[in-house]
């Protein structure tokens, strides 16, 4: 199957913001919500109690025994403690930037979401493909085109499918295709290991395509100065606005369309 089947997803953040107790000591705050935000939970503890045992107790307390199948975490500083607590309760953890409901809640609370990110670095030279280009596929055809194919590296989370996002079947989903030639499978495996999150056009001198990956990594996937390519890149970004940020990255050996090496469904935060 192309998707992870889960009954219940939590998006979780555990961090010290600006709160302090009456003695002036730092408080850590736990926020839990599901993607629809019809379940929300908040708890705080002093920094001296901010550990995996406290988190385990909160996870068990807040849900009356109905623990989730998956916990999504976007903040690198939160990941290790949440992972330990979740593993002890046999809950799967996913490190992902796609915690939009949780991030919206944090913004409503006027918390900063800034995460330190290194400057983008070039893709390793031994992975460069033969060429690349912008493409698009109607939302109604996207899953049928790739989900059941024997693609070695495949990422189509259920929560990013067009039907889950409420996109009409005729909405154009933009993407980038890389023709990797003999390096196609090696490139796809490298990308999969680095967990692509979104692929964005950045104008400059030169223009570029920046791949956001894992929780904070950034990679320069391509640079260009051609005006026609820049125009295509602008259309790519415009289409992302009408697709709720949904887009994709495709790696294949050549233009025959006979085989694919990797496909990732991605979403930019709009």
- CA nearest to 136, candidates 168, 167, 178, 173: 173
Given this model, what pLDDT does residue 3 score?
39
Given this model, what pLDDT does residue 129 score?
80
Q: Would you call the peptide bond into 206 cis, given omega within 30 degrees of 0 as the criterion?
A: yes
Assigned CATH for 9-108: 3.30.420.10
Sign of the Cα torsion 177, 213, 232, 206 reads negative
Given this model, what pLDDT does residue 126 score?
82
Q: What is the Cβ-side half-sphere exposure of residue 211, based on CA atoms within 13 angstroms? A: 23
Tell me: the pLDDT tens digits for 7-60?
Answer: 699 999 999 987 777 787 889 999 999 999 999 999 999 999 999 999 999 999
Q: What is the pTM of this model?
A: 0.81
Given this model, what pLDDT does residue 2 score?
34
Q: Is 139 exposed, middle or buried (0-12, 13-18, 19+ CB in 10 A)?
A: buried
Given this model, what pLDDT does residue 103 score?
93
Report the DSSP beta bridge partners of residue 177. Answer: 133, 250
Phi and psi at residue 84, to the nearest 5°: -60, -45
**Three-class SS of residue 202?**
strand
| Euclidean distance between CA atoms 169 and 67, whole angstroms | 34
Q: DSSP letter for 160, please.
A: G
Alpha carbon separation from 41 to 29, 92, 129, 181 (Å, rounded): 10, 19, 46, 49
Instruction: In the chain, list all ranges with CATH 3.30.420.10.
Output: 9-108
Phi and psi at residue 120, to the nearest 5°: -65, 140
pLDDT tens string, the chain, 270 residues long: the values are 333 444 699 999 999 987 777 787 889 999 999 999 999 999 999 999 999 999 999 999 998 878 999 999 999 999 999 999 999 999 999 999 889 899 999 999 988 777 777 899 998 888 888 899 999 999 999 999 998 889 999 999 888 999 999 999 999 999 999 999 999 999 999 999 999 999 999 998 899 999 999 999 999 999 999 999 999 999 999 999 999 999 999 999 998 888 999 999 999 976
Given this model, what pLDDT does residue 249 score?
98
């Amino acid at each position: 199957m192309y998707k992870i089947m889960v009954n219940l997803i939590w998006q979780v953040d555990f961090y010290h913001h600006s709160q302090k107790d009456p003695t002036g000591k730092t408080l850590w705050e736990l926020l839990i919500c599901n993607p629809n935000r019809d379940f929300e939970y908040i708890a705080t503890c002093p920094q001296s109690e901010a550990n995996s045992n406290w988190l385990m107790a909160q996870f068990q307390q807040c849900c009356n025994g109905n623990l989730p199948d998956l916990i999504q975490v976007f903040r690198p500083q939160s990941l290790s403690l949440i992972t330990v607590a979740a593993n002890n309760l046999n809950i799967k953890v996913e490190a992902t930037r796609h915690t939009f409901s949780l991030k919206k809640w944090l913004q409503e609370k006027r918390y900063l979401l800034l995460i330190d990110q290194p400057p983008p670095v070039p893709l390793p030279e031994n992975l460069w493909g033969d060429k690349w280009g912008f493409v698009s596929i109607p939302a109604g055809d996207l899953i049928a085109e790739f989900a059941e194919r024997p693609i070695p590296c495949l990422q189509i989370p259920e929560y990013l499918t067009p039907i889950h996002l409420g996109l009409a079947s005729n909405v154009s989903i933009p993407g980038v295709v890389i023709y990797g030639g003999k390096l196609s499978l090696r490139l796809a495996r490298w990308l999969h290991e680095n967990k692509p999150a979104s692929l964005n056009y950045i104008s400059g001198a030169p223009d570029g395509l920046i791949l956001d990956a894992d929780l904070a990594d950034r990679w320069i996937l391509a640079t260009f100065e051609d005006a026609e390519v820049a125009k295509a890149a602008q259309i790519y970004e415009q289409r992302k606005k009408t697709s709720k940020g949904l887009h994709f990255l495709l790696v294949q050996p050549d233009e025959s369309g006979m085989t694919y090496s990797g496909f990732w469904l991605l979403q930019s935060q709009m």
